[in-house]
Amino acid sequence: GATVVGAIIGSAIANEKPHHNHRRHRRPDKHQSRPARRHVQSRPVERCTTQVVTEYRQEISGYQVTYRYKGQTFTTRTDRDPGDRIPVRINIRPINR
């Protein structure tokens, strides 16, 4: 009985103590003078980032031109700036009576 209890207590105390396994007087390895062999492996690494750029711009897509001819108002769209005047083509047809 007492021997078993003492063995259990001694074992518990021994497990709580830090174990120091110093090998200060270790004899040198026979391969110690050779450079250590290392397994070096390289592989491609891809690092991606996403960059969001938002730009706003104003551009003219055309000109809406309103003009008057002989008392009537007309509207047209042009690609170019018409300036102060716009050339018009007049189609004259006879009136059917």
3-class secondary structure per residue, 23-53: CCCCCCCCCCCCCCCCCCCCCCCCCCCCCCC
**SS3 label, residue 19:** coil
Main-chain dihedrals φ then ψ at residue 11, nearest 5 degrees: -65, -40
| 43 found inside a domain | no
Going by C-beta distance under 8 Å and a sequence separation of 6 or more, which residues neighbour residue 64?
Answer: 75, 76, 77
User: CA–CA separation, 3 vs 26, rounded Å?
Assistant: 37
Query: Count of domains in the chain?
Result: 1
Per-residue pLDDT of 41-97, as tens digits, reads 888 889 999 999 999 999 989 999 999 888 999 999 999 999 998 888 888 888 887
Per-residue pLDDT of 4-28, as tens digits, reads 666 666 666 666 655 555 555 555 5
Domain that holds residue 85: 62-89
